[in-house]
């Protein structure tokens, strides 16, 4: 018998070496590209959802014109197959506008198909028009129906004493002031660390919060992380954080009560935006049923020890 060669021993081709430039974005490294949507160029659906609206409409218009030019060229293969042509207008121009009428199911005027070939092309274009309209409508609806969270993050973080412990604080606000259900918040420390073997790695450490979720998020939320013995920030001075290129990553998620769709928001803070010995000024004034919220104080801090 001929021995069967193990699958794992088959020769494999080594993929060509590729390199990409990286940049730090939101505390982590990502590839450099002209636009975030370019990375989806191999997946047309994701690409058309990610491109800006002007480019999306431009691509639709270009595809629409390309389809009509292609079918107009086919109609030119049988000039006698279109009844009603006039001599005072170029043949391709008449074929092009005939294609526009066919693709949009507008209905014919003076021009109409006569030969079998032209009728077959009309049939193919009618099917193409149905598919084009269905796809473009679906893509436009998918773009319009995407929900987004307008979450405002404070311009800086503060570290001050709270219940006897130094505490990292972050202020957030819901700019839309609609109810976001099952709101969840996560803080992560991104920092360069050197192992005992001398390897430098970018590590991510979760910063536990006193309250990391809320049944309903309507106005503001002050997130607080106590810097205790279990905190990744314990024992790190501002100079050490800056030397390790530390950043605080913030990730928010919730469900829009109106649309019933999940929403997300994120932000990052480099080490120089962490202010020690300061705390946020209270935004709410008054007592009882009548209270006032002063949005001008959103980023204001005061000395706090």
The lowest-confidence range among 43-52, 103-112, 221-230 is 103-112
> In this model, does residue 30 exceed pLDDT 60?
no
> What distance in Å separates the CA atoms of residue 207 and residue 247, rounded to the nearest whole number?
12
Task: Record the tokens describing residue 41, joined without a space.
Answer: 């160029």
Mean pLDDT of 261-290: 88
Q: What is the pLDDT of residue 172?
A: 93
Mean pLDDT of 13-42: 54
Q: Which residue shows structure tokens 């659906």?
A: 45
Q: What is the pLDDT of residue 11?
A: 43
CATH 2.60.40.1400 residue spans of the chain: 151-303
Q: How many angstroms from the chain centroid is the CA of residue 194?
A: 33
**Domain 52-144 of CATH type 1.10.443.10:** no
Percent of the chain with pLDDT over 70: 84
CATH 1.10.287.70 residue spans of the chain: 52-144
Q: How many angstroms from the chain centroid is the CA of residue 305?
A: 39
State pLDDT tens for residues 231-258.
999 989 999 999 999 999 999 999 988 8
> What distance in Å separates the CA atoms of residue 40 and residue 34, rounded to the nearest whole number?
12
State pLDDT tens for residues 115-136.
999 999 999 999 999 999 999 9
State pLDDT tens for residues 175-231.
887 889 999 999 999 999 988 888 888 899 999 999 999 999 988 999 999 999 999
Mean pLDDT of 61-77: 94
151-303 folds as Immunoglobulin-like (2.60.40)
> In this model, does residue 4 exceed pLDDT 50?
no
> In this model, does residue 13 exceed pLDDT 60?
no
Model's pTM, two decimal places? Answer: 0.67
Q: What is the pLDDT of residue 10?
A: 45
Higher pLDDT, residue 99 or 14: 99
With H, G, I as helix, E, B as strand and everything else as coil, classify residue 159: strand
How many alpha carbons fall within 13 Å on the CB side of residue 60? 20
């Amino acid at each position: 018998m001929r021995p069967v060669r193990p699958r794992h021993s088959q020769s494999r081709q080594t993929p060509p070496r590729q390199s990409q430039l990286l940049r730090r974005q939101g505390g982590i490294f990502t590839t450099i590209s002209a636009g975030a949507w370019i990375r989806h160029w191999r997946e047309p659906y994701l690409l058309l959802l990610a491109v800006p609206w002007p480019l999306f409409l431009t691509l639709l218009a270009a595809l629409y014109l390309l389809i009509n030019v292609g079918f107009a060229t086919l109609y030119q293969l049988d000039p006698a197959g279109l009844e009603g042509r006039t001599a005072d207008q170029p043949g391709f121009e008449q074929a092009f506008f005939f294609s526009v009428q066919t693709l949009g199911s507008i209905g014919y005027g003076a021009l109409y198909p006569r030969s079998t070939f032209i009728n077959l092309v009309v049939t193919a274009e009618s099917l193409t028009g149905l598919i084009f309209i269905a796809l473009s409508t679906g893509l436009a609806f998918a773009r319009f129906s995407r929900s987004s969270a307008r979450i405002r993050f404070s311009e800086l973080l503060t570290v001050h004493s709270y219940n006897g412990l130094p505490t990292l604080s972050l202020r957030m606000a819901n700019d839309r002031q609609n109810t976001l259900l099952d709101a969840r918040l996560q803080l992560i420390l991104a920092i360069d660390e050197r192992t005992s073997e001398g390897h430098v790695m970018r590590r991510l450490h979760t910063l536990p919060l006193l309250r990391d979720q809320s049944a309903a998020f309507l106005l503001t939320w002050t997130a607080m992380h106590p810097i205790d013995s279990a905190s990744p920030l314990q024992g790190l001075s501002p100079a050490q954080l800056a030397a390790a290129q530390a950043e605080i990553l913030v990730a928010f998620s919730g469900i829009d009560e109106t649309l019933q769709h999940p929403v997300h928001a994120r932000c990052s803070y480099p080490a120089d935006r962490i202010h020690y010995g300061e705390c946020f000024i209270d935004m709410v004034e008054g007592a009882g049923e009548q209270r006032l919220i002063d949005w001008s104080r959103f980023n204001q801090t005061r000395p706090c020890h």
